[in-house]
Amino acid sequence: MKNIVILISGRGSNMEAIVRACAAERWPARVAAVLSNRPDASGLQFAADHGIATGVVDHKQFPDRSGFDAAMRDAIDAYQPDVVVLAGFMRILTDDFVEHYAGRMLNIHPSLLPSFPGMHTHRQALDAGVKLHGATVHFVTPELDHGPIVVQAALDVLPGDTPESLADRLLDSEHVIYPRAVRWFVEDRLQVQDGVVQVQPAEPQWFMAISPEAAGKQP
């Protein structure tokens, strides 16, 4: 039985999707803990209600990133994680922290990487005039938003879309691909070679939500 530790900063809707999928699909793993850098993160209550250990390492209590990262690393390692999942964890991590979890830390980014790394991805997509937008689950590396890609979801950009409507519609697809990626990891199905991730046995590493109906909501 593998241990999953999830880091959140707010509601943690992707965390909720992973917790539900882990239980419903009977993964060979358990969500051992949900940790946050914010004591008011509402997702902590969801985790507690589902019998999952929770904890807070408040970044405001540390004078620098390295001190915070060291404390968060200690909190994570207390649960002996096989994989660390960033689910709306709004902190830029130090290289030492990332290297400590090399090959066993996943993140979801709201764009089709390598396009639009960093912040304000939906505004970037609209300003660029792209016709497809999406989300990417990737391994975390020291270079921000550049780790090996595990799975991607795409949806069409519609006339009248705003950053808010894109984010809202995309969330449904995120809730499909992130649990899928974590499940592949805990089932030992992910192989990384020369920076390229393959799933064994093979399975589609993409999800398409082309119509507004399939994506979930109208803009």
Q: Return the domain boundaries, the chain.
A: 1-101, 109-219
Burial (CB count within 10 angstroms: exposed 0-12, middle 13-18, buried 19+), residue 180 = buried
Q: Is residue 107 marked as binding?
A: yes
Of 72 and 215, the structure prediction assigns the larger pLDDT to 72
Instruction: Please check the confidence at residue 84 and state whether its pLDDT lies above 50.
Output: yes
Distance from the Cα of residue 205 to its chain's centroid = 15
Torsion over CA: 25, 203, 85, 178 (sign): negative
Q: What is the pLDDT of residue 66?
A: 93
Domains 1-101 and 109-219 in one fold: yes
Kindly state the average pLDDT of the residues 139-153: 96
Hey, what amino acid is at 153?
A
The predicted pLDDT at position 208 comes to 85
Architecture of the domain delimited by 109-219: 3-Layer(aba) Sandwich (3.40)
**Active-site amino acid positions:** 109
Terminal-to-terminal C-alpha distance of the chain: 41
Specify whether the CB–CB gap between 93 and 102 falls below 8 A. no
Res. 29: pLDDT tops 50 = yes
Nearest to residue 49, comparing CAs of 23, 25, 72?
23
Q: Is 173 annotated as a binding residue?
A: no
Does the annotation list 118 as a binding residue?
Answer: no
At residue 218, the pLDDT reads 43
Q: Residue 214's pLDDT is what?
A: 47
76 assigned ligand-binding residue: no
The CATH number that domain 1-101 falls under is 3.40.50.170
Mean pLDDT of 125-154: 96
Q: Report yes or no on whether pTM surpasses 0.75.
A: yes
Q: Is 13 known to sit in a ligand binding site?
A: yes
Q: Annotated binding residue at 93? A: yes
pLDDT tens digit sequence for 159-209: 999 999 999 999 999 999 999 999 999 999 999 999 999 999 999 999 887
144 vs 160: CA distance, rounded Å:
30
Residues 23-33, mean pLDDT to the nearest whole number: 98
Residue 93 pLDDT > 60: yes
Q: Is 90 annotated as a binding residue?
A: yes
